[in-house]
Amino acid sequence: MVGGRGDDFVGYVGGVLDDFEVEYSLCEDVYSAVARLAKMPEAVVVLGRFERLNREGPRFFEMAREQGHICCCYVDTEATFRRKGVFEAARAGALVLQKSSQIEQVISKMLAGSVVHHNI
């Protein structure tokens, strides 16, 4: 998960992951997430706010997809959703979520082995 400890979204997602008994770690920014992903032997799901994951444009999403990881970026306002970068992130393979509650669907499907880049 990418985000700050005081972020409501991070707190919510952490609670969901705890409920599902899923192990997770928190990276403060996308740069520490890149370093952590480089060390991951298996594919993982990266969760975070769009603004945190899109620091370098769609490149993070492209890199994660190339390594077999799945990115879910949360877009919490209509204004942000309409920004060009959100569509570029989706084209790069990110799952774009408009409701934080969609995280539960992603985690359920991940645990069932049925999470794919364009199906949530």
d(CA 113, CA 99): 22
Mean pLDDT of 103-110: 88
pLDDT in tens, 12-47: 999 999 999 988 999 999 999 999 998 888 888 899
d(CA 30, CA 65): 15
Is 93 strand, coil or helix?
A: coil
Q: Which two tokens stand for residue 10?
A: 């991070």
Q: Where are the beta strands (DSSP E) in the chain?
A: 45-49, 55-58, 70-74, 95-97
| Residue in this structure with the two tokens 């393979």, named with its chain if needed | 93
pLDDT in tens, 109-120: 888 875 544 333
d(CA 89, CA 50): 9
